Amino acid sequence: MDMQEPSYEGKQDHIPSLVTPKIETFKNVYEGKIFEVHFSIPEFTAVCPKTGLPDFGIIDMIYIPKKMCIELKSLKEYILSYRNIGIFHENVVNKILEDIIHAVEPLYVKVQGDFNVRGGIKTIVTREYKS
């Protein structure tokens, strides 16, 4: 009997088009001024797609607004939506970054996921975008 590990190929392909709560925005009345906005989300939770157990971590974001800024309550609701999603760490960071780009079209954004140790391995994933 051939006991192969299950393949995860294709099982996360839906993540880029996953529908998540809308990140609401408001007008940047200091457009043309360069300033950074930092968010830290110390209680991020998603689901490990392999074990079905919760994954915990800290999501840190820095962005430089252009015309629009991120509204915090909607960001909280957006982040909370991940609690029931089976998603790999790498996909969490990429999905969040792309959703922020879609919402506010910033001059710059960086998202870092610093995930709790699982199986003796610490995972930190970072992605940034400059317009």
111, 60 Cβ separation under 8 angstroms: yes
Interatomic CA distance for residues 131 and 106, integer angstroms: 7
32, 65 Cβ separation under 8 angstroms: no
Active site positions, annotated: 48, 55
Q: What is the DSSP letter of 23?
A: -
| Residue 118 burial by Cβ neighbours in a 10 Å radius (0-12, 13-18, 19+) | middle
